[in-house]
């Protein structure tokens, strides 16, 4: 998507009640040791997660029950 060798700083955003689930996603990404992922953080505050970003990609999931 960004060319060969472009390192990515992931920031995962979700609503506060889903932080436990998002922590699991974060751990899976870190455990995967993807060579182009230079960092991964997560949170529920959009002001923090969107600070100084160049590109934002929003991916929807299944509706919450």
What domain range is 9 assigned to? Answer: 1-65
Radius of gyration, alpha carbons of the chain = 13
Domain count, the chain: 1
pLDDT surpassing 70 at residue 45: yes
Q: How many other CB atoms sit within 10 Å of the CB of residue 9?
A: 12
Q: Where is average pLDDT lowest: 19-23, 31-35, 55-59?
A: 55-59
pLDDT reported for residue 12? 94
Question: What is the pTM for the complete model shown?
Answer: 0.81
Specify burial of residue 42 (Cβ count, 10 A radius: 0-12, 13-18, 19+).
buried
Check which CATH number belongs to the domain holding 1 and give it. Answer: 3.40.50.720
Q: Does residue 54 register a pLDDT over 70?
A: yes
Can you tell me the mean pLDDT for 12-31?
Answer: 94
- First-to-final CA distance of the chain: 33
Check residue 59 and give its pLDDT: 86
> For 13-17, what is the mean pLDDT?
93
């Amino acid at each position: 998507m960004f060319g060969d060798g472009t390192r990515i700083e992931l920031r995962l955003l979700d609503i506060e009640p889903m932080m436990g689930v998002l922590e699991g996603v974060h751990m899976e990404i870190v455990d995967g040791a993807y060579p182009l992922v230079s960092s991964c953080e997560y949170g529920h505050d959009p002001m923090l997660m969107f600070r100084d970003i160049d590109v934002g990609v929003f991916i929807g999931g299944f509706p919450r029950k």
